[in-house]
Amino acid sequence: MLKLIHLTDLHFTPPGIGHLGCQPRRRLEAAVESINTEHGDAAWVVITGDLAALGQSAAYEELKACLAELRVPYRLCLGNGDHRARFRAVFRDVEVDDTGFVQSVVETPAGRLLLLDTLVQGVHWGELCERRLAWLSRQLEQGGAAPVFLFMHHPPFPIGIKLIDSLSLKNADRLAALLDGRNIRHMFLGHAHRPVAGSWRGIPFTILRSTVSQFALRLDSDQPLRCYESPFYAVVLIDEAEVIVHFHDYGYDGAVFQYDTVPNVVVDDETRAADFQQSMVSAASRPACAARAAAAIPRSCRRGRR
Ligand SMILES: [Fe+2]
C-alpha cells in the first residue's frame, strides 16, 4: 500500500517566540525525527496549513530549516494563519497553480493528491474563489476516473463545535457541486485542532490534532477553549480498495511490549495472573525516538502514565 504522512496546524513562530505555551519548532522536530525513524518509507508528507501562526517571514524560515531534516518529500497547504506572499517568498520552489494560489497535484501509483488553497488573506474562515474552483474543476476533468485524495485546511462542513464551525469553508456548496460524481476517495483536513473522522456528502474525511495546542471538545461552547491533548500525525495507507488512517501519538513515551507474554487461557489462580501481569511490565521497552519526541512535549501534555 502507498504510505502517506498527514500533519497539520504547525503554527510556526519566529525564533524565541512560543505559541500558547508550546514551542512549535520543537514539536515539529520531534515529528520529523519520528517520521524519519519510523516511516521513512512514506511516499509523501502533506501538511494541511496553518504552517505559521501569524504568517511572519521568520516563521517560514524556521519551518523551512526544520523541514530540511525530513527524509520524505513534502508538500504544503496554506491555512488562515498563513500569509501567502511571505510564504512564497521563503518557499520559492513551492508548486502553485496558474494564478499563483498554492494548489498542486501529486501523481502517485494509488491516485492523485490534490492540494487546495483555502486561505482568504486576513480572515480566519476559508473560501475557494472562482479561480481556485476553476483550477480544481480542470484537475478533476483531466484526472477522469482516477482516484482523488483531497488535502486542504478548512473543513467544508460543521463539526459541531460552534467557534470552529463559524470559521469553516464558506462556499462549501460550490465545492460539493464540483466533487459530485467524482472518484473522491478521502479528504484530509486541518483547522479544527481535533481528531475527527466521518463523511461529508458521502466523502470520507479525517481531521487531525495540531502539533501544538488543541481545541477542547466542548460542543456547545462558542469560546476558544484550548487544551494540551497530545499532538499526533496520521500514517495513511492507500490502495485501490482501502484508505487506512492511523493516528500516531508520536510523543508517547510509555511502554511498547510483547503481548504474547500474556497467557492465552484464563488464569484461575490470582497469584499466577498477577505474576503474568508483572512480567509484562518488566518486558516493556521504550523506543529511543519516542523518548526524544516526548522530551519536546511538556509532561502536562502527555497521555497519563503511572
Ligand atoms: Fe490552526
The pLDDT tens digits of the residues spanning 16-28 come to 998 888 899 999 9
CA dist., res. 102 & res. 192, Å (int): 21
Residue 168 has pLDDT above 50, yes or no: yes
Residue 299 has pLDDT above 70, yes or no: no
Kind of pairing, strands 243-248 and 233-238?
Answer: antiparallel
How many distinct structural domains can be found in the chain? 2
Q: For residues 99-119, give the mean pLDDT.
A: 97
Is the domain of 233 the same as that of 110? yes
The one-character DSSP state at 188 is: E
With cut-offs at 50, 70 and 90, classify the pLDDT of residue 303: very low
Is the domain of 105 the same as that of 192? yes
Residue 128 has pLDDT above 90, yes or no: yes
Taking the centre of ligand 1 as the mean of its atom positions, its distance from the CA of residue 278, in whole angstroms, is 42
Distances (CA, A) of 290 to 43, 193, 244, 284: 22, 22, 23, 14
Is the domain of 280 the same as that of 162? no
Is the domain of 292 the same as that of 194? no
Could you write out the DSSP letters of every residue in 133-187? HHHHHHHHHHHTTS-EEEEESS-SS--S-HHHHTTSBTTHHHHHHHHTTS-EEEE
Is the domain of 140 the same as that of 277? no
| The pLDDT of residue 306 | 31
Taking the centre of ligand 1 as the mean of its atom positions, its distance from the CA of residue 304, in whole angstroms, is 25
pTM of the predicted model, to two decimals?
0.89
With cut-offs at 50, 70 and 90, classify the pLDDT of residue 289: low
Helix ranges (H only) for the chain are: 24-38, 57-67, 84-90, 130-143, 162-165, 172-179, 270-282, 288-295
Quote the Cα angle for 21-25-29, to 5°.
Answer: 125
Query: Domain containing 14: what range?
Result: 2-248
The answer to whether position 227 is within a domain reads yes
* Domain-ending residue, one of 213, 229, 248: 248
| The pLDDT of residue 305 | 35
Neighbours of ion ligand 1 (CB under 5 A): 9, 50
Taking the centre of ligand 1 as the mean of its atom positions, its distance from the CA of residue 105, in whole angstroms, is 23
Kind of pairing, strands 214-215 and 2-7?
Answer: unpaired
| 202 residue type, one letter | G
The answer to whether position 254 is within a domain reads no
| The pLDDT of residue 273 | 77
Taking the centre of ligand 1 as the mean of its atom positions, its distance from the CA of residue 194, in whole angstroms, is 10
Taking the centre of ligand 1 as the mean of its atom positions, its distance from the CA of residue 119, in whole angstroms, is 12
The pLDDT tens digits of the residues spanning 190-240 come to 999 999 999 999 999 999 999 999 999 998 787 888 999 999 999 999 998
* Domain-ending residue, one of 228, 248, 268: 248
Taking the centre of ligand 1 as the mean of its atom positions, its distance from the CA of residue 265, in whole angstroms, is 48
| The pLDDT of residue 304 | 37
The pLDDT tens digits of the residues spanning 23-58 come to 999 999 999 999 999 999 999 999 999 999 999 999
H or E segment and range at residue 238: strand 233-238
Is the domain of 148 the same as that of 72? yes
- Which of 204, 203, 268, 190 lies closest to 232, judged by CA? 190
With cut-offs at 50, 70 and 90, classify the pLDDT of residue 116: very high
The one-character DSSP state at 265 is: S
Q: In terms of C-beta density within 10 A (0-12 exposed, 13-18 middle, 19 or more buried), how is residue 167 classed?
A: middle
Taking the centre of ligand 1 as the mean of its atom positions, its distance from the CA of residue 78, in whole angstroms, is 10
